[in-house]
Amino acid sequence: MTRLASDHTASPLIFEMGQEGRANRYVDPGAPLTDFLPREVLREDLPLPDNSELDVVRHFTRLSQRTFGIDVGFYPLGSCTMKYNPRVNDAMANLHGLRDLHPYTPDELSQGALQIMYELERTFCNLFGMAAFSLNPSAGAHAELAALLIAKAYFNDRGEGHRDKVIVPDTAHGTNPASAAMCGFKVISLKSDDRGRVSVDELKKVLGSDTAVCMMTNPNTLGLFEDHIHEITKAVHDVGGLMYYDGANANALMGNARPGDMGFDLMHLNTHKTFTIPHGGGGAGHGPVGVAAHLVDFLPTPYVSSRTKPNSNQAHSPSDRLEFFLDFNRPKSIGPMRLFWSNFAHAVRALAYIYANGAEGLTKVSQLAVLNANYIRVKVREFLDTPYDEICRHEFVASAQELKKNTGVRALDLAKALLDRGFMAPTMYFPLIVPECLMIEPTETESKETLDSFIDALREIVESAKSDPDSILSAPQHTVVGRLDETRAARQPDLRWYPVNE
Amino acid sequence: MYTPHTEKDVKEMLAAIGVPSLERLVEVPEPVRLRERLDIVPALSEAGIVSRFEHFAKKNTGASYVSFLGAGAYRHYVPPAIGALAMRGEFLTAYTPYQAEVSQGYLQAIYEWQTYICLLTGLDIANASVYDGATALAEAAIMALNANGRKRVLVSHAIHPMYRSVLKTYCDGLDISIEELPITDEGVTDFNELRERLQSKQYACLAVQSPNFFGNIDTPDDTAARVCRETGTVLIGVVAEALSLAALTPPAQWGAEIVAGEAQSFGVPVAYGGPYVGFIAANKDHLRRIPGRLVGKTVDVHGNEAFVLTLQAREQHIRRERATSNICTNQAHCALIATMYLELLGKTGLHDVASANLERSRQLATRVSSLKGCSLEFAAPFFNEIVVNVHRPASPVLAQLQQRGVLGGVDLGRYYPEYSDCILMAATELTTSRDIEVLCSALEDALRVTSVEKAENDTVSV
Amino acid sequence: MAQPADVRYSKEHEWVKVDGDTATIGITDYAQNSLGDIVYVELPKVGSQVEKSASVGVVESVKAVSDLFTPVGGQVIEVNAELDGDPALVNREPFGSGWMFKLKLNGTDQTDGLLSADEYAELTQE
């Protein structure tokens, strides 16, 4: 086996390291287990490795060196909003009074935590034009599921349980149809028009008395604003359906336009995108679900409510006059989506970010995100096709189809060559309607210099693809491993280590 | 503000794009324009943010009380090495490791996590994590529904009430009905009528939690497990206190085909409820039905061993409406923390923590049950939680304890009206003898006060 | 692409070979080629009744998944157990050892509406 020269960071599996008895002593042990429990309920063996703390620290340090994050380099991953995650947010989540507060602590001893959730919820309502938000769901897809359960409960409550069609544009995120299926809805896919938007005429053809929800993201995944949104929401409302806003792309309009004003009845936010919660390698996320006034009763439980304190007076500030509580008494609620109340540590991070920006700052954030995306777009179209050639929002798509025809180099190859040059790859092959698609979202936290260096790298890669395609087809060459044999991984799944004697 | 743009940058970039202003760039059609002024807090400096949150933190006085709260969220010792490692920016700010060539470290960590979950539960496969233990149970039930195509779900009444509520939320979406097995006087699941119920072969699964919500070890006996097998009912084991896996019989050994659990105990702070980290383990037959991400080992073009996300065709971004679940996010960073915890503690350390939990909780049980007016509700073997009967409504007793700086536990009446005289108390390795003495002395006072109140109330009612 | 002439084709890219009252079904070379490396095939249960055009299983490749439709109806009498251990058979010999399942046909003339080799070749050239 040949190891690459750069692979000095490899660390064996932890199970192939260590010796029994080598671990540091972290807590004082109790008496033998058999003093407390009958042998028949105890496990015979605990087949785990013992390692010294230093070995474990080195192990994870090496693993981190083999991992790319925003802190390592530019992360233009479309639809993922990989912006800088301010460290103060983590420090706040780590304050003793927030980190060590047990979820079953009585409300009167958790007022700080409840106020954080209350303020965050009120801010979201204001920013996005909704009547109420629940911070209960754990991620965007989870919130989407919550929203569709709310829609289902709402229709059942109105005696319109027959509504079973969910309309999803073909540019939608894959979660949309998957969430709909989890609520027993049938999915109707809607073809985009040649401007990359939902066609109002096509939409009207599928609308009817069986329409439950139309799910849209705006701007859509092509980075284009759905400029007929007003007519779309009206058409859906006219047949008694609900409009759902997929907030995955909320970074594009925060502070400048509001889903509520567009006529959306339900929405979710990916707080881990727009509000700088670290992605952490794929979670934990945070997915508030927001609703218009007619749907508030159906929100998941508990809902953070407030009431005036019995002994308060005008001398107190408005927030000091209030006391906050977890409201479980909501008979029409769809129920809880998860264990306990919220991914609270993330609510802390999101609110810290809102404080850092204020209304003006948040408005500026989305403007600069759009500025950065358009700046890359006008440069990239000099050497790659941009099939929807107009002002985009926070992201845009380019296509390598022509390049592939002429050189055999695909979007995937360009992406792998970017890895070699110290950049994360853009999102590829999504949305599905653009062939050889590269979806680029720079976010607002990147400087012009970073954008220029990315543009230069991509330009150089495209030029190399034309002059020396093999150099790109064989990328990446400077990463710790080369391209993976994914077929082998899927045909002979090896999903864990086994002890030698098994 | 975390935007690096100077005025000059903005001007140059706008010129390159050919648009006169930032406002023009984000313009939307007239009917949907923003009309209301945003009413959001003014921006604060970083020092201002810190002072604001310190104020919030201080208002959470409950974080510093002597606490016997458990019930699905446990306070355990966390080695500082975890904080130092987990906060490394490479881990913290990575996306899902789709680009395997630059994500080998994270992928390997998840592969190690999957292995730990398999070794602890005794099952063949485990996923890269799900949101939490409650959603893990819901996803496990959906796996069972997909496995045998049945439409009913059977669960023990002794499963954490929030787990059951979340299961109901999910099942309502799918129009699946949930039924429950009752609890015996011993505080464990009553399996007596299991054979009759399962005979019709209508239940997709039976879910049982051990240790159950009351802290009692609650595993189906061989007969119950055999009935499940014979009737094609998937036996789901639920684990809400993952530390118990370090001491107790692995669920696979008592017949669980799928285990759904919560691993918050492995180094993840209680943080007022989240984020935590759910896990799902299963036997091989369920490979294609397990939701969420899976990391596999393979080779790269040079023949090097390497890790990659695999079996992605099960997932929502490819299957869309045919997907087994809509989950995309897992709890990667919490799973990473849990993996660090397991690797630091090791076999010896985990065993030590488990034995300390057993010892402290027995110390608690002995002391509290020696108080006049208190008794243990159940006699079954338990892990680190006990149910204390105070022989009067528990709620005012807990309020009295609170006034004395003690969080005595969870009022069981909140979820089980039949046990409204009972408190669920947890003790971990962090519970000191002094904590227990503080509780007992406060409890004696509380019982005295509430008995007086009780007597007065009795007089009134007569 | 060579299409065997002794089988009939569906627009969903399955082929069916009828022999008396028994039909053998698989996916075409074109289908396996567009899916890429096939990693898993989920087949109907032996003994189950399937209706013409119903979705009876799933074909999964590394990055795609596709429903398996049956071009004819009947009772499933056999499935290709080899595919469980070696799904790549579908890529290597889609019309041969990569066959998927066999049916005992419900009545005759079920191949009405299915395509000939030439018609199918035309379809896939578009």
The predicted-structure confidence for B340-394, as pLDDT tens digits, reads as follows 999 999 999 999 999 999 999 999 999 999 999 999 999 999 999 999 999 999 9
In the three-class reduction of DSSP (H, G, I as helix; E, B as strand; rest coil), residue A428 is classed as: strand
What mean pLDDT is predicted for residues B417-441? 98
Residue B319: pLDDT over 70: no
- Is residue B406 left, alpha or beta, with left meaning phi > 0 and alpha meaning psi from -120 to 50? beta
Would you say A77 and A423 are in contact if contact means Cβ atoms under 8 Å apart? no
Residue C93: pLDDT over 50: yes
What mean pLDDT is predicted for residues B257-263? 98
CA distances A390 to B28, B169, C10, Å, are 14, 43, 42
The shortest CB-CB distance from B312 to any of C42, C58, C63 is to C63
**Cα dihedral B429→B434→B439→B444 (10° resolution):** 150
pTM of the predicted structure, to 2 decimals? 0.95
Q: For residue C42, give the chain B residue with the closest CA.
A: B288
Q: For residue B309, give the chain C residue with the closest CA.
A: C62
Determine which helix (DSSP H) or strand (DSSP E) holds A292, and give its type and residue range.
none
CA distances A172 to A220, A259, B248, C14, Å, are 7, 17, 46, 29
First to last CA, chain C: 13
pLDDT in tens, chain A (502 residues): 334 445 678 999 999 999 988 989 999 999 999 999 999 999 999 999 999 999 999 999 999 999 999 999 999 999 999 999 999 999 999 999 999 999 999 999 999 999 999 999 999 999 999 999 999 999 999 999 999 999 999 999 999 999 999 999 988 887 888 888 889 899 999 999 999 999 999 999 999 999 999 999 999 989 999 999 999 999 999 999 999 999 999 999 999 999 999 999 999 999 999 999 999 999 899 999 999 999 999 999 999 999 998 877 777 777 778 999 999 999 999 999 999 999 999 999 999 999 999 999 999 999 999 999 999 999 999 999 999 999 999 999 999 999 999 999 999 999 999 999 999 999 998 888 899 999 999 999 999 999 999 999 999 999 999 999 999 999 999 999 999 999 999 999 999 999 986 5
Chain A residues 459-498 with CB within 8 Å of chain C: 486-487, 490-491
β-strand A186-190 against C14-19: which pairing, if any? unpaired
Q: Which residues contact A353 (CB under 8 A, 6 or more apart)?
A: A86, A89, A275, A276
DSSP A185: P
Residue B460: pLDDT over 80: no
Mutate to test the interface with C, among B288, B294, B298, B309 (most CBs of C within 10 A): B288
CB contact (8 A) between residue A486 and residue C40: no
Per DSSP, which regions of A38-106 are E strands? none
The per-residue pLDDT of chain B, averaged, comes to 94
Q: How many angstroms separate the CA atoms of A169 and A203, rounded?
A: 9
State the pLDDT at residue B326: 77
What's phi and psi for A495, nearest 5 deg? -105, 5
What mean pLDDT is predicted for residues C90-119? 89
Please report all neighbours of A, defined by 3+ CB atom pairs within 8 A.
Answer: B, C
State the pLDDT at residue C34: 87
Q: How many angstroms separate the CA atoms of B35 and B41, rounded?
A: 18
ipTM score for this prediction = 0.96
Q: For residue A233, give the chain B residue with the closest CA.
A: B32
pLDDT band, residue B453 (cuts 50/70/90) = low
Mutate to test the interface with B, among C48, C60, C61 (most CBs of B within 10 A): C60
Mutate to test the interface with A, among C62, C83, C86 (most CBs of A within 10 A): C62
Copy the structure tokens of residue A213: 């929800």
Nearest to A490 by CA among B407, C31, B294, B161: B294
**Cα dihedral B22→B25→B28→B30 (10° resolution):** 70
Is C91 within 8 Å of chain A by CB?
Answer: no
Nearest to B383 by CA among B409, B406, B368, B365: B365
CB contact (8 A) between residue A100 and residue B269: yes
Q: For residue B311, give the chain C residue with the closest CA.
A: C62
CB contact (8 A) between residue C64 and residue B322: no
State the pLDDT at residue B393: 96
Would you say A494 and B312 are in contact if contact means Cβ atoms under 8 Å apart? no
The predicted-structure confidence for C9-61, as pLDDT tens digits, reads as follows 999 999 999 998 999 999 999 999 988 999 999 999 999 999 988 889 889 88
Please report all neighbours of C, defined by 3+ CB atom pairs within 8 A.
Answer: A, B
The predicted-structure confidence for B164-175, as pLDDT tens digits, reads as follows 999 999 999 888
CA distances B439 to A110, B367, B400, B404, Å, are 20, 10, 11, 9
The shortest CB-CB distance from B318 to any of C39, C65, C67 is to C65
Nearest to A94 by CA among B64, B87, B88: B87
Question: In A258-338, which ranges are continuous DSSP H helix?
Answer: 259-262, 271-274
- Shortest Cα–Cα distance, B462 to chain A (Å): 32
CB contact (8 A) between residue A63 and residue B109: yes
Determine which helix (DSSP H) or strand (DSSP E) holds A479, and give its type and residue range.
none
In the three-class reduction of DSSP (H, G, I as helix; E, B as strand; rest coil), residue A365 is classed as: helix
Q: How many angstroms separate the CA atoms of A8 and C51, rounded?
A: 58
Nearest to A127 by CA among A333, A13, A271, A243: A271
Q: For residue B321, give the chain C residue with the closest CA.
A: C65
Copy the structure tokens of residue B134: 């409650």
- Is residue A254 left, alpha or beta, with left meaning phi > 0 and alpha meaning psi from -120 to 50? beta
Distance from the Cα of residue B107 to its chain's centroid: 23
Q: Which residues contact B212 (CB under 8 A, 6 or more apart)?
A: B156, B158, B159, B187, B188, B189, B218
